[in-house]
Structure 1
Amino acid sequence: MKDDTGEIFTLDEVAAYLKVGKRTVYRLAAAKKIPAFKVGGTWRFRRQEIDQWIKRQTAEAQSDDGPGGPHGRNG
């Protein structure tokens, strides 16, 4: 089985992976809200870092939606 931990994505590939538009990924990268780096002026993304970022986003979203959060019963 292929080891994907060192896999590098292009902006187009990350957009497809996250199922969002390329412009969204570009804006996130430029604002340093998603782990990214530039090679020759073009954005690149490490798959392992993107997967960790997804986990953090999921955890934050779940904690925001708890009983006292903005979407909870008390909100």
Structure 2
Amino acid sequence: MAGAVQAMLREVMDIRQAAEYLGISGDTLYRYASEGFIPAFKLGNRWRFKKSLLDSWMDEKSGVKPQPATGLTVVAPEQKKPVRRAL
């Protein structure tokens, strides 16, 4: 359990750690990195992933925009779903 927590706190992760962080398989993450779909870089011949870049990428893909002054996040209006009223 402590190893999983340490992996989540690392800024630079290997493919196994990043796949666990994102909740996808290592094979899928390798394919995404190779295709340039996800932010990654190679150190030698191995893929590496910066946690901060992955977080920004996920925010961008989900339509969440961070508010720098407050630290709160705001969802873009076009991403919001209509709320149904109770009858």
Following superposition of structure 1 onto structure 2, how do residues 20-35 of structure 1 map, counting pairs within 5 Å? 20-35=24-39
Structure 1 residue 11 displacement after superposition: 0.4
If asked which structure has higher relative contact order (CA below 8 Å, sep 6+), I would say: 1
How many aligned residue pairs are there? 62
Provide the rounded CA distance (Å) in 1 between the counterparts of 2:80 and 2:47: 32
Name the SS for the 1:38 alignment partner.
Answer: strand
Query: Does 2:63 align with 1:53?
Result: no
TM-score relative to the length of structure 2? 0.61
Query: Does 2:5 align with 1:9?
Result: no
Tell me the percent identity: 32
Provide the rounded CA distance (Å) in 2 between the counterparts of 1:26 and 1:65: 31
5+ long unaligned stretches in structure 1: 68-75
TM-score relative to the length of structure 1? 0.70
Question: Larger Rg: 1 or 2?
Answer: 2
